[in-house]
A and B are shown apart, each in its own frame.
Chain A
Amino acid sequence: MRAFVLALMLTVAPSAAAAELGEAHDFRLRTVEGSIMTLDDALAEGPIILDFWATWCAPCRIALPRWVELADRYAEHGVRLITVSQDDPRSQPKILPYLRSQGFEFPVLLDGDKQVGRRYRVTSLPTTFLIASDGTIVTHHVGYREGDEREVEADLRELLDLDPLEEESR
């Protein structure tokens, strides 16, 4: 018990001092269709919503349509949804049937050995990042609960210099 409390204190203390967001880590991953995509490729058109998910992750399946809707709403500002699958190489064949059955058309990058996930410190799924076109991480969101996307949307609007969301719509 003493060890837990001590570890908890050590955990909480440094975060109070942390104040700056970092740059997104570079990556080079193969898409589910077989082509290669890097971070620079992903950011070529503007900000991205980068979502780490997996076919076996139930909250991810609830969250994905919301991220699609959010990206679609701001597509005219160059916003794109890019997803990174944390599926093991032999559960990757489940990705395409799922995508097509849902009508999803966003790029899916394959991170079978989770090297990119580790660099982004993904410890639970889904984990979602909003990354500005200059590569700066604007926000990140761990897990998903219905309505969480509005928090990311507020940050996205600020990034795009748009008026804040009205409280009711948030």
Chain B
Amino acid sequence: MAVPVRADELRVEMSNLLELQIGRDFANEDEDRRRFFGQFLLDVYPTRDLRLGLRVERFADSPPPELFGNPVAEYEYDRLAQRFVEWSSRHARFRVGNGYAILGHGLLFRAFELPGVVRQTQFPIVSYAESRDLDGVTLDAWYGPLELTLLHGTPVIAPDVAPEQPNQVRRAGSVTGGRAMLEVVEGLRVGGSVLHADGLEAGLATSRAEEFGAVEVDVDLLRFVPGGDDLPFFLRTVVEYAGRSWQPFDGGLRTATGVPHALYSNTQIGWDTGALGIETKDYHQFRLGVNDPPTLVPEFTHRLLNRTTHVLDPLDEKGHQITLGQRLPDWIGRGSIEAVYAQSEGRLEVLGEYRDPREYEQFFVALESDPSRSVRVRVYFSDGHDEFEGLEEIRTVGLLASSRRLPHDLAVELDVGHQVRERRGVGEVVRSDDIAVVASVSRASLGTVGLLWERTDDPLFLDDPSLAEDESRARDFVGGTLSWRVDQNHDVLAFYGERRGGVACTSGTCYFVPDFEGLELRVLSRF
């Protein structure tokens, strides 16, 4: 399908996302919420090289949300969220308006979006698209062994603030910078990035002008070993190191130790039936407001593991992650094993002095097999602790089973997980159990119907503001899901029931999702 309307060279493409929620938030006592979010994207190509883009967003809430008893209808918005003109050629792409850019591995600057993700603030709930764009100009150019990125504009510095909100700043200041990479010889690229930031207020970033810089190397090591090309291995290393010119508290309260910096390295070793990835991340006083350090650990799609994803603290944390993927020998059956070990530690700085180190550690292993070619089974186990979150133990076990094609074009899937957490309270350790079960039936080219059940007895999740007293028993969340492929242009997704919120992570970015009870309907369209 993909149905751009064309007339001669003119090309017009549109897509749309509509989301409607009818129901109750747990953050207030309002039983009958009707909340609407719409996003419309228009791309016009007058010629092959030219692109004009618009994005319009609307958020409405009925009845108007209340904050501390006062109606705050001004939280609703209609806005032109993006507009840009982009010109591209064989060797360059130049954009004026809202755009995206990541310098290197994002140590200095990341302007990006998570397509399809609708975020919500908590008090009051306001829906908005997860788009952290740069409003300015960007240039990407490449010629022979040289690649160049230049940017200037106003970034999003507070992504947790919804757009157009009174007395809150989402976008401010300015950044100017760029990145250059040169392929010195085949298999070796070197380069670096610079960034000048002014007026960034988010987090602990400076409110005055500051310079940042980074150098990076990307090397295919076996190309420089005699006979390396003939070896049945792949060995590639990427290293990036960034520094800043300004030190926080350089008046009376200096940092106790260390020079502000960020380090990222990644070595990949591949062989015929598997590969090993070794990553190191080391951040110290590097929360810039525009670099949003990603998670240190792999992002698991399994519901319970995803919710406890550890997020790196850019003020002080360093650690490693080792990822192994290996195909199983044929005599065991068609399958693979995935193993991950991640560890980090960081310190909390209070008035110029560091407290005791906090440690995060996680070991994960998953075995996946499809021996009969009719049922694919994945079992996984994860064990670790996260002192950054006060968790002395996080142990998760789960099973994911999905069938291949059954009669009548049907297929079934079952995803079951159980997690135990031990949290250090005031003088005692509190144990809590979470269970998540998702069962679904799908039909090819038509849709999927699913049932979701979650249970938790974690005291941190028990309080329901709509009830006068504290709850003391386990809480259940039951819901049904439907996804329907109407035609090639439209997809409908629906949820009905009670949905547990919490942290959700997508593409290395974690954000908070509020609890919800009721009906949620989403329509995705392209035309």
Using a CB–CB distance below 8 Å, which chain A residues touch chain B?
1, 3-4, 7-8, 11-12, 14-15, 17-22, 26, 28, 33-34, 54-58, 62, 86-91, 93-94, 96-103, 112-115, 117-119, 121-124, 129, 137, 139-143, 145-148, 150-151
A87/B298 in contact, CB under 8 A: no
A22-B6, A91-B507, A100-B325 provided; 5 other pairs, C-beta below 8 A?
A15-B525, A15-B527, A88-B112, A88-B508, A89-B104
List residues of chain A with CB within 8 A of the CB of B491. 124, 142-143
Question: What are 27 inter-chain pairs, A to B, with CB distance below 8 A?
Answer: A1-B36, A7-B18, A7-B38, A7-B58, A15-B527, A18-B3, A18-B5, A18-B527, A19-B3, A20-B5, A34-B187, A87-B508, A88-B106, A89-B104, A90-B508, A91-B298, A96-B268, A96-B275, A97-B323, A101-B274, A129-B2, A142-B485, A142-B491, A142-B524, A145-B446, A146-B402, A147-B445
B325/A101 in contact, CB under 8 A: yes
How far is it, in angstroms, between the C-alpha of A140 and the C-alpha of B507 when the chains are bound?
23
Of A101, A123, A147, the contact of B15 (CB 8 Å cutoff): A123
List residues of chain A with CB within 8 A of the CB of B102. 89, 112-113
At the interface, yes or no: B326 with Cβ under 8 Å from chain A?
yes
B267 CB to nearest A CB, Å: 9
Within 8 A of A (CB), among B468-527: 483, 485, 487-491, 505-509, 521, 523-527
At the interface, yes or no: B454 with Cβ under 8 Å from chain A?
no
| Known A22-B11, A34-B218, A113-B112; contact A100-B274, beta-carbon cutoff 8 A | yes
B290 CB to nearest A CB, Å: 14
List residues of chain A with CB within 8 A of the CB of B326. 100-101
| Known A14-B14, A22-B11; contact A100-B524, beta-carbon cutoff 8 A | no
B contact residues, total (Cβ < 8 Å): 100
How far is it, in angstroms, between the C-alpha of A97 and the C-alpha of B404 when the chains are bound?
24
At the interface, yes or no: B75 with Cβ under 8 Å from chain A?
no
Tally of A-B residue pairs with Cβ under 8 A?
A: 235
List residues of chain B with CB within 8 A of the CB of A34. 187, 189, 218, 220, 236
At the interface, yes or no: B277 with Cβ under 8 Å from chain A?
yes
Using a CB–CB distance below 8 Å, which chain B residues touch chain A?
1-6, 11, 13-18, 20, 22, 34, 36, 38, 40-41, 43, 58, 60, 62, 88, 100-102, 104-106, 111-113, 115-116, 142, 187, 189, 218, 220, 234, 236, 264, 266, 268, 270-277, 279, 294, 298-301, 323-327, 336-338, 376, 402-405, 409, 411, 442-448, 483, 485, 487-491, 505-509, 521, 523-527
How far is it, in angstroms, between the C-alpha of A143 and the C-alpha of B526 when the chains are bound?
14
| Known A58-B301, A91-B507, A124-B524; contact A143-B17, beta-carbon cutoff 8 A | no
List residues of chain A with CB within 8 A of the CB of B22. 1
A97/B274 in contact, CB under 8 A: yes
B220/A12 in contact, CB under 8 A: no
| Known A112-B102, A123-B17; contact A1-B34, beta-carbon cutoff 8 A | yes
A126 CB to nearest B CB, Å: 12
A18 CB to nearest B CB, Å: 4
B79 CB to nearest A CB, Å: 14
List residues of chain A with CB within 8 A of the CB of B17. 123
| Known A15-B525, A34-B220; contact A99-B275, beta-carbon cutoff 8 A | yes
Of B3, B376, B525, the contact of A20 (CB 8 Å cutoff): B3
A60 CB to nearest B CB, Å: 10
List residues of chain B with CB within 8 A of the CB of A100. 270-275, 325-327
